[in-house]
Structure 1
Amino acid sequence: MTPTRVLLVDDHPMVVAGLQALLAPLPGLTVVATAASAAEAYAAVAAHQPDVVLLDINLPDQSGLDVCRRLVDEYPGLKVLALTTLNEKSYVTRMMAQGAAGYVLKNASPEELAEAIARVQAGKKYFSEEVQELLLQPEPVVAAVPPLTRREKEILGFIAQGLTSQDIADRLFLSALTVETHRRNLLAKFEVNNTASLIRLAAQHQLL
């Protein structure tokens, strides 16, 4: 049986050497090349035509996310397997959106790496157990944006700039008492009890 041709893409020489040592004894696999950057990865894929690319996300010249998308677009039969320390749901979902066939953490055993490579080479998806648990976690519930009046939005912007109620009152030709009323209404609508929390939530809702 023809061995699966693997390209290792990682900018840490010790990681690459370790991966080569781990994969060397495994039957049915051969490491055809290594690359320490996106540019080297593109050249290596063109020159060696690997079946599977083990790709780190953090590269010195370009994000692994972008590298994954370009490789998948240019080589439809190529399988890209993320191999990273980044155990975060956002990275997993973004890599998959870019066309990755799987996501494996760098603490994987040689056996797991072999299984991951075999699975993606067979056209299936593969995720480390820890990554599977991440994907099963429910999405956090984001509260709806409270309805704000035009004046409240205006005052919220000034609060975010660090202006005092008197400063805002002077700019808007209002009384400081009126501004304080608007400030209390904003705190109530966002269900917070201090200005820092108010600004943080407003920024999350892209109101600033």
Structure 2
Amino acid sequence: MLVADDEAMVRAGVRAILARDPGTEVVAEAADGHEAIELTRRHQPDVVLLDIQMPGLDGLAVAARVHRQVPAAGVIMLTTFGEDHYITRALQDGASGFLLKADDPRELLHGVHAVRSGGAYLSPRVAARVIAGLRTGRPADRARAQRPHSHLTPREREVLAGVGAGLSNAEIAAELHLVEGTVKAYVSALLGKLGVRNRVEAAIAAHEAGLASRGRGGP
């Protein structure tokens, strides 16, 4: 994976946390947005961890370019409490995970594992703040936050819970004893039923419905 942050101390801390997972290797570090894009193209990492505030190009602009130029790379945004308003834009730019710098280090490992396996990941505090923002935001956003989930079938709720927990389709299939293709079909149907655009927004919906509080897989 690639780690991009303009603070050397933060990069060192992230690398130290990731060193706990023998399945994760940091192949490159970047101190600004332009360098992050260049190194992502060069190394083709499976996960790119981006600080939102960076010199040159900010993490949001980098996320959009990575999504277009290296679509196989999953993007995780590293945010602070003061940057909640950037999350909606990051969703549109193709980010698959959101973590706070103040989160428990284990959340970083969970997030990397989830995004690397094709899932989406919101740390619990990020999810709580996104939902709170939706409920106090524009009327359309409030309506989405208050969307009833009673119209989902029990199986759809189980699949949605897996999405909210950051599991990939394969992991959900193994947990629910389903074929992976069946889970993929369920996820596609859920996006339509919930009126969301992607897996991250579906994960937010899972948190809204209280379906993502169970334990997560991963390191």
Q: TM-score range by the shorter chain?
A: 0.5 to 0.7
CA distance in 1 between counterparts of 2:31 and 2:10 reads 10
**RMSD between aligned residues:** 1.5
The answer to which of 77-86 and 50-59 deviates more is: 77-86
Taking CA–CA contacts closer than 8 Å with sequence separation of 6 or more, which of the two structures ends up with the larger relative contact order?
A: 2
**Separation in 2, partners of 1:140, 1:8:** 32
Alignment equivalent of 1:140, drawn from 134, 137, 142: 137
User: The residue matched to 2:25 in structure 1 has which SS?
Assistant: strand
Residue 99 (structure 2) pairs with residue 104 (structure 1): yes
Pick aligned residue for 1:60 from 55, 67, 71: 55
- 2:40 is matched with 45
Q: Which runs of 5+ in 2 are unaligned?
A: 140-219
1:180-204: CA deviations, max 9, x gaps?
A: xxxxxxxxxxxxxxxxxxxxxxxxx
Q: Which residue of 2 aligns with 1:128?
A: 123
The alpha-carbon deviation at position 86 of structure 1 amounts to 4.2
Q: After the TM superposition, which residues 123-202 of structure 1 pair with which residues of structure 2 at under 5 Å, given as runs?
A: 123-137=118-132, 138-140=135-137
After TM superposition, give the deviation of residue 55 of structure 1 in Å. 0.2
Identity percentage over the alignment? Answer: 41
Q: Helix, strand or coil for the counterpart of 1:30?
A: coil
Could you list the structure 1 runs, at least 4 aligned residues long, displaced by more than 3 angstroms after superposition. Answer: 86-89, 139-142
Deviations 1:109-131 (A, max 9, x none): 33211110111112211111111
Could you give the per-residue CA deviations for residues 71-102 of structure 1, whole angstroms, max 9, x where no partner exists? 00011111000012245432111111111001
Q: Which runs of 5+ in 1 are unaligned?
A: 1-5, 143-208
Conserved 8 A contact 1:51-1:78: yes
- Per the normalisation by structure 1, the TM-score is 0.62
User: How far apart, in 2, do the equivalents of 1:31 and 1:38 lie?
Assistant: 17
CA contact (8 A) 2:97 2:120 kept: yes
Contact 1:87 1:105 in 2 (8 A): no
Give the direction of change, closer, same or farther, for the CA distance of 1:61–1:88 in structure 2 (3 Å limit). closer
